[in-house]
């Protein structure tokens, strides 16, 4: 690997231990370098199994990360995480592409991405930072750390075309049967499609264009919240309830 931080993070992934201190010389100098670390770590851990992208911010580009296939699970699975991290959980909406979005002489826009989306589903993201004190970790190092992704669980699919406006989607996140967060609104469909279009162009620039079958989580609608329990459930009108259990 070309960057020392890539080797350090990969070692933590493999050992399940946490980085107590980080030499300032290892902190990426900018987002581009942080994304190189992501790519090197994911390449070492196996193929890309999914992507995560932030809802489009008002004054900057979204943040993103590929997610290794070994971090991706179907709903209902019992999940064992090799980590000592204090886990966090998020409730999200995901989309699955039905068409490739390859490199071409131009840029993708929201309409292009909308035409490429096949289905949507609820998703649980578990955050498991490789740093012992994430709050004190430089933000660029956190981005390099796959944006703290530890696992993502996808629920049953439904047609994206039949989905109502995402901005008014109600969701409830439960841990061990008790609700820890509810929302009645969130990022709009338009804002979500803007982020997905940005991701399509960004993925091309990294040499890993999005393709049919790729699943993308579109940012936390509830969370990140401390995960103090074993069984995680998300409910939302129009979606099949999704559940995952940690062991």
pLDDT for 2: 79
pLDDT for 56: 96
Which helix (H) or strand (E) is 50 found in, with range? Answer: strand 48-53
CATH code for the domain in which residue 139 is found: 3.90.850.10
Q: What is the rounded CA–CA span in Å between residue 166 and residue 152?
A: 20
Ramachandran class of 149: left when φ > 0, alpha when ψ lies in -120 to 50, beta otherwise? beta
DSSP string, 91-114: EEEEEEESS-B---SS---HHHHH
Cβ atoms of residues 134 and 149 within 8 Å:
no
Domain span at residue 190 reads 4-246
Q: What is the rounded CA–CA span in Å between residue 149 and residue 62?
A: 16
How many domains is the chain partitioned into structurally?
A: 1
Paired tokens of 75: 């709903």
pLDDT for 55: 96
User: For the chain, how many residues are written?
Assistant: 247
Give me the tens of pLDDT residue by residue for the chain, a chain 247 residues long.
579 999 999 999 999 999 999 999 999 999 999 999 999 999 999 899 999 999 999 999 999 999 999 999 999 989 999 999 999 999 999 999 999 999 999 999 999 999 999 999 999 999 999 999 999 999 999 999 999 999 999 999 999 998 889 999 999 999 999 999 999 999 999 999 999 999 999 999 999 999 999 999 999 999 999 999 999 999 999 999 999 999 9
Paired tokens of 158: 């439904």
Q: What is the rounded CA–CA span in Å between residue 51 and residue 119?
A: 15
The angle that helices 31-45 and 4-15 make with each other, rounded to 10 degrees, is 40
Q: What is the rounded CA–CA span in Å between residue 98 and residue 119?
A: 8
Burial grade of 148 (CB within 10 A; 0-12, 13-18, 19 or more): buried
Residue whose C-alpha is closest to residue 50's, from 130, 154, 128? 154
List of residues 6+ apart from 72 with CB closer than 8 A: 49, 50, 151, 152, 153, 154, 215
pLDDT for 80: 95
pLDDT for 164: 87
Output the pTM of the full model: 0.97
pLDDT for 1: 59
Q: Dmax over Cα atoms in the chain, in whole Å?
A: 50
């Amino acid at each position: 690997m070309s960057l020392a931080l890539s080797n350090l993070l990969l070692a933590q992934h493999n050992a399940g231990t946490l980085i107590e201190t980080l030499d300032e010389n290892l902190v990426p100098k900018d987002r581009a370098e942080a994304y190189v670390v992501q790519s090197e770590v994911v390449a070492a851990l196996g193929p890309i199994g999914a992507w995560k992208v932030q809802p489009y911010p008002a004054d900057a580009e979204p943040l993103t990360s590929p997610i290794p296939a070994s971090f991706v699970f179907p709903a209902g699975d019992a999940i064992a995480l090799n980590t000592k991290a204090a886990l966090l959980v998020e409730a999200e909406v995901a989309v699955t592409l039905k068409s490739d979005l390859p490199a071409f002489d131009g840029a993708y826009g929201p309409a292009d991405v909308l035409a490429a989306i096949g289905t949507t589903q609820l998703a649980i993201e578990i955050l498991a930072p490789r740093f012992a004190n994430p709050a004190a970790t430089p933000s660029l190092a956190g981005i390099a750390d796959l944006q703290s992704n530890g696992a993502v669980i996808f629920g049953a699919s439904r047609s994206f075309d039949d989905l109502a406006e995402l901005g008014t989607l109600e969701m409830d996140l439960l841990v061990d049967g008790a609700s820890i967060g509810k929302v009645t609104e969130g990022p709009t469909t338009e804002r979500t499609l803007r982020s997905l279009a940005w991701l399509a162009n960004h993925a091309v620039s990294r040499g890993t264009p999005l393709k049919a079958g790729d699943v993308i989580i579109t940012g936390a609608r509830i969370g990140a919240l401390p995960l103090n329990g074993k069984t995680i459930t998300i409910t939302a009108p129009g979606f099949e309830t999704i559940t995952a259990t940690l062991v």
